[in-house]
Amino acid sequence: MTSTIDPETRLGRLVRENPEFAPVFESLGIDYCCGGDVALERACEESDLQLESVLERLEDARSADPAETTPESLSALVDDVVETHHDYLRDELPSLERVVRKVARVHGDGHPELREIESEFLDLREEVTHHIADEEENVFPELVALDGAESLAPDDEERIREAVDHLESEHDAAASGLERIWALSDDYAVPDDACTSYRNMLDRLQMLEEDMHLHVHKENNVLFPEAEELLAAE
């Protein structure tokens, strides 16, 4: 099959233009969010995947589920991130914390890795809660204001770029925390003696990881580059 997808295209751009590619990369373990600057061809090499078969899966995803268009204005992008991902986190993290604590308490003796998962989760929860509040209260309003802004003082430009760099480094830290949870749980493998709460915790940790990948992708590969274009045009 001849693919119309250029293997030199970066992952972040591919998902930006074809949101239906995200689940394919997710299932192949290809990092398209924090690693969005890497070209498809190189990402396949690094993951020991055949480029041809990956292209085929992407083409299948495209014909099965044609792309919804990604919102374009900065304020529409911000609304989408807040309503789809921040609201989910605000809702999910406190109740998932109760399950993680309970499972570690009940099964921690038989599965000592649960205590490490609990500790990683609590760190992640605190960082992410602070991070999304910082985005909503401080950084996003400044990005939205760039749309239609007349001109910015050089100090303001510098400050916005530094704030964005800081958010990106926090995304890397969150991705590392999620990767440690993934490894500690052996890719969310369900042990034979797992009770309903244990299974529920693993399902929800996996959903959290997938949602965070899409969330970080939208910020790193769509929202921040759009804001940078406006800053560069100032």
CB of 169 to Fe ion, least distance (A): 11
Q: Which of residues 120-139 bind Fe ion (CB under 5 A)?
A: 135
Q: 77-83 long-range contacts, Cβ below 8 Å, gap at least 24?
A: 77/218, 77/222, 77/223, 77/226, 78/140, 78/143, 78/144, 78/223, 80/218, 81/135, 81/140, 81/215, 81/218, 81/219, 81/223, 82/136, 82/140
As measured in angstroms, the least distance from the Cβ of 219 to Fe ion is 5
CB of 171 to Fe ion, least distance (A): 6
- Retrieve residue 27's tokens: 């299932």
Residue of closest CB approach to Fe ion: 219
Does residue 219 touch Fe ion according to CB under 5 A? yes
Stretch that binds Fe ion, among 36-44, 119-127, 176-184, 216-224 (CB under 5 A): 216-224
Q: How far is the CB of 71 from Fe ion (least distance, A)?
A: 15
- For residues 52 to 91, the per-residue mask of contacts with Fe ion, x marking binding by CB under 5 A and - elsewhere, is ----------------------------------------
Nearer of residues 104 and 124 to Fe ion, judged by Cβ:
124
- In DSSP terms, 10 is beta-bridged to 39
Decide if residue 227 touches Fe ion (CB under 5 A). Answer: no
Nearest CB to Fe ion, comparing residues 31 and 219: 219
Q: How many residues bind Fe ion (CB under 5 A)?
A: 2
Q: What phi and psi values does residue 225 have, to the nearest 5 degrees?
A: -65, -35
Tell me: does residue 226 bind Fe ion (CB under 5 A). Answer: no
Query: Cα angle at 17 between 13 and 19, to 5 degrees?
Result: 105
Shorter beta-carbon distance to Fe ion: residue 133 or 195: 133
CA distance 198 to 172: 27
Phi, psi angle pair for 12, to nearest 5°? -60, -40
CB atoms within 10 A of CB 121: 25
29: left (phi over 0), alpha (psi -120 to 50) or beta: left
Shortest distance, position 234 Cβ to Fe ion, whole Å: 23
Binding positions for Fe ion, rule: CB under 5 A:
135, 219
